[in-house]
Amino acid sequence: MPHLFATSDLHVTHEGNGPILDDVVPETPGDWLLVAGDVAERAEATIGTLKTLRERFAKVVWVPGNHELWTTNNDECQLRGQARYEYLVEQCRAIDVLTPEDEFPVWRHGTRPLTIAPLFLLYDYSWRTPEAEGKSLEEALSQARAAGVVCTDEYFLHPDPYPSRQAWCEDRLKISSGRLDAIPEDHGTILMSHWPLHRHPTAPLYWPEFALWCGTTKTEDWHVRYRAEIAVYGHLHIPRTTEADGVRFEEVSLGYPREWRKRARGAVPMRRILWPS
């Protein structure tokens, strides 16, 4: 019987992370793998890695993280924003990897069917520190800069053709909620996204100002509204299991070598999040 695994933030081009990909392997021929973003910064490395994973697992489902959406000078693919995302989706389809634009797969090996919903949502700067609540975005960003916190997205994640990342996020929220609303009511869900859907996972952040780039208040009840059994995410590089409203939240990120080398358990390349009951 198959198992459901998840991983994120593999950052395979980061020195020390590449060899860890060899440990992302199934236990049975029918195992599935959820990849919650930040595979790599370069499009070719992202698709090559997903192709390797698809050759190993019976099904692979991917959502983009912020790093896949960066447009950097050392990437042969210079597409920006929505065009870059669409290119990655097209390449994934060519290697039989599911994306947020494809039909949601259904896990049927438990007590009830679980629709796996890959979500590409971005963020809208609405997760603020107490000092930034009620202030303008410019003031909130200024406070973050004063604290020495500026996400690299500000330089490399372009929202084209949208006027801003907030506008792109708003459109993705509409697209995603519409598809989630269409899931049969007798199905539970596994919601997978790069950015966490709920604010609570950001509580341990060393720099609380970084929460600006981590999600949106508009998804804070999605795990309840859409009958989630598990919410899978990455981005924060704080791998752990938490709970909100009786729903399990799993951060499945590997992170950078400087992070996982400090942990007693070392590098954890993937997590088993579901298995047959």
Identify each DSSP E strand in the chain by its residue range.
4-7, 32-35, 59-62, 106-107, 114-119, 188-193, 228-233, 240-244, 247-251, 271-274
What is the per-residue pLDDT for 17? 96
Work out the mean pLDDT of the chain and round it to a whole number. Answer: 97
Cα 115 from Cα 107, distance rounded (Å): 6
What letter represents residue 86's amino acid?
A: E
Query: What is the reported pTM?
Result: 0.97
- The amino acid present at 277, given as its one-letter code, is S
CATH architecture of 4-274: 4-Layer Sandwich (3.60)
What residue segments make up the domains of the chain, in order of their start? 4-274
Summarize pLDDT for 203-221 with one digit per residue, the tens. Answer: 999 999 999 999 999 999 9
| pLDDT one-digit tens code per residue, 45-71 | 999 999 999 999 999 999 999 999 999
Residue type at 97 in one-letter notation: V
- Average of pLDDT values for 103-124? 96
Is the per-residue pLDDT at 110 higher than 90? no
Q: Give the three-state DSSP class for 228.
A: strand
Which pair of tokens denotes residue 69? 């959406």
Model confidence at 276: pLDDT above 70: no
131-175 pLDDT, tens digit each: 999 999 999 999 999 999 999 999 999 999 999 999 999 999 999
Residue carrying structure tokens 């202030």: 135
| SS3 track for 148-207 | CCCCCHHHHCCCCCCCCHHHHHHHHHHHHHHHHHCCCCCCEEEEEECCCCCCHHHCCCCC
pLDDT digits (tens, 9 = 90+) for 246-269: 999 999 999 999 999 999 899 999
Strand order in the sheet with 271-274: 59-62, 32-35, 4-7, 271-274
Residue 36: pLDDT band by 50, 70, 90 thresholds? very high
